[in-house]
Amino acid sequence: MAHSSRSHQGGGGDTDNLLRSHGNYEELAIIGTGAYGTVYKARDLSNDGVIVALKKVRVPLTDDGVPMSTLREIALLKHLDKYEHQNIVRLLDICHGQRLERERQLVLYLVFEHVEQDLASYLERVPPPGLPIERIKNLLKQILTGVDFLHTHRIVHRDLKPQNLLVSKDGVVKLADFGLAKTYDFEMRLTSLVVTLWYRAPEVLLAQPYASSVDIWSVGCIMAEMYRRHPLFSGSSEGDQLDKIFQIIGTPREADWPANVSINWTSFQCRPGTPFRYILPEICTAGTNLLTQMLQFNPAERITAGNALNHEYFKEDESTETS
């Protein structure tokens, strides 16, 4: 769960009175560790031993207790879960752990439904020659449906990547790890902790303000990865990442380069770009069009999740498609 380092007016009160103890859950194994916490596979002792995912996060305490930002995020998570959207991982419970007075922190536990695999491991297990085109379409449509739900509720995920997309045994995709999700305004800037480099939008790499279109860029990267079975842009630094992006989508014109950014337009070669059909030979004409609309340098020109769901790519019959 993200928190804002800015001070908040008004105390958050005492979550111990709002949340129950995490003692009902038995930790079994570590699933993963991220910038904001550790996720455990756990057993719900109060519910027939149902397996859950237990996310342990440390929340800094202010003089007034838990920051209002944290309480707002808990309320947001609970609010989202009321919809029981099939493409959003279910939040089952929120519990408090111990207070760490010396570190001025409170441990919180977010209890989510447990899904066995993420999209990254799912793709690794696909035998050659790769996923059938119809399966790619199905997965992509589910991802976009989840993203559209978040954006409709003014939430930017901000960390979309294959490791944060869970795939159930029934093939249902669920967006997970809202540790960095936040109701958006149009002047947010990402910290260095946010989003794996390979899925970052250009405006993030350039430390520009951003909005929901950062998620669309990430979905475009994931779409290409489902065809290729390895990342589309695998840079090693912000500058290298941008260079790899421009090798494929072309270097933007100097007139389109944002002002007052740390990396100058002159740092990059002028590249014409590489057509997607050369990189993704299996992709159809409609798929190329959709991917191009997702991977626009200018965030204002990117397609929205809602419009992407209505794109002809999802309406075409595979038997009539041509590469």
Catalytic center residues: 159
Q: How far is Cα 215 from Cα 305, in angstroms, rounded to an integer?
A: 9
Distance of CA 179 to the CA centre of its chain: 9
For the chain, the C-alpha Rg in angstroms (whole number) is 21
Task: Write out the chain in H/E/C secondary structure.
Answer: CCCCCCCCCCCCECHHHCCEEHHHEEEEEEEEEECCEEEEEEEECCCCCEEEEEEEEEEECECCECCHHHHHHHHHHHHHHCCCCCCECCEEEEEEEEEECCCCEEEEEEEEECCCEEHHHHHHCCCCCCCCHHHHHHHHHHHHHHHHHHHHCCEECCCCCHHHEEECCCCCEEECCHHHCEECCCCECCCCCCCCHHHCCHHHHCCCCECCHHHHHHHHHHHHHHHHCCCCCCCCCHHHHHHHHHHHHCCCCHHHCCCCCCCCHHHCCCCCCCCHHHHCCCCCHHHHHHHHHHCCCCHHHCCCHHHHHCCHHHCCCHHHCCC
